[in-house]
Structure 1
Amino acid sequence: MIGDNVDTAFFHSWFRNYVKGFYSEDPGIQENIRLKEEHTLRVCKEIIQLCRSLDLNENALRLADTIALFHDIGRFEQFRTYNTFNDKVSENHATLGLKVLEETDVLSRLTETQHSIAYKAIGYHNVRKLPDPDSETPDCLLYSKLLRDADKLDIWLVVTTYYGKRHNHRNPALELELPDTPEYSLCFVEDILNNQVSNSHELKTFNDMKLLQLGWLFDINFTQTFIRIQQRRIIEKIIADLPDTEDMRKIQNHLKEYLNERISER
């Protein structure tokens, strides 16, 4: 495993100063910059808890924290440039983040091995499917899986909180500017019932996005993550904000059965 200490205090200080450069007096911009800043810090906490549940050592934990800290570093430039978090109509935020890391050279404090793992894990964090084990190193895949689980846990927190209050305060950036209509695309229903993660490029409505988020369950890697999903009632909260149809009842039953199976495997 990773042997050298990582200077997380430096990285967190650098991150705070970097993000402050995007603060704005415009309430809409400030809301979304803070949204991603706070999301990032919670993902750091989630990934540390996951590392501890796996009994990883302190050095591994520090590297995981650093990877989580920088995983969405491209979001700030993305929102300032395009006024959206929708990669489809702007650019891939992970790729943009890697450009920021290259230009600032902030990861130069890491060893060559740590740098490679961090860079790849950040680049992989939003891909539909991770590379096969025979084409990537075990350490890279471990940190990538940790990041993807931690990221999803907090995205689910953000969106379920938002779904509960959005009728009082709308944030189009969290809805990817998708039309909020009763319709949903059957391809997302079929993917869930076939235990598949959907393609975000197929999104047509806001309900499609909720179904996409439910389907992330099939990309979860660690038992502790499944337990937290159950404890936080993620499935129930998202389903509650979808149309009351037979499709949704099938999906809920299927997802809960899958969740219970994965938890019982430990």
Structure 2
Amino acid sequence: MVRHKRRHCTLWKADRSPACRSVMMTLDAMNIDVREVDVNMDKEEHKSPGIISMNPLQTLPILKDRDLVISDSHAISTYLATRYYTEMSKFLLPADPGSRAIVDQFLYFNSSVLHPHYRAASNPILEGSLRIVDEKIIDGIHSAYADLERILTSRSWFSNGSWPSLGDIAIAASISTLNVLVPIDVNKFPRLSSWLHRMSEEKFFCTANKKGLCEFTRRIEYGNCYNPNEAKYPRNSEERRNDLSNTEPDRTTTNAA
């Protein structure tokens, strides 16, 4: 596959964030190479003047393409798929209005349903002293799992095609993370479990999601485990994809196998 270099694009991201990993999976699925800058959220680097000047909401990811700045993961992924068309774009984000609407539908579901569940479950642990997820939040997450289970009754992918779309990628980033907090019961949600397992075998999932997912898992289990000796420096997407540390075993999808 041809690598597409976009030296004028920079992505600010934190690997533990599912929103950031969603964009990284999009980059890897399209084999796009941009400059990537790691932001340490435990050190509140996302609240720095430079980040606030680009995104007053102080959230990640942020993509800057020349003078254009986008700070929502769904908008970034759809922008990449339309602005920098590759042979994979037609699978990730179809041009046909009907097929495109189906993909948009699941991007909106992820934005309006799954991501709020993720924040409600993870923020008290990441930002406070709680070590467990509240029962009411667990019920809401189980309800979302049940919705996705029903949707998958007559389809293999949420795109309703033969290949995962941007909708599948966004949902995979959220669901694989929620699975750490509220494990998916394979007996109750066999279709969702099977879908997540198949997603976990996609190359872009392995290169862009697994490492950050393991980082998130460690952060949930052990608290702030920031290593000041760990080098964090700007690099391009291709260097990240070639990093052998991205191939470490993933223990966060075993519940969904």
Q: TM-score, normalised by structure 1?
A: 0.30
Q: Larger strand proportion, structure 1 or 2? A: 2
Bigger Cα Rg: 1
- Higher RCO (CA-CA < 8 Å; seq separation 6+): 2
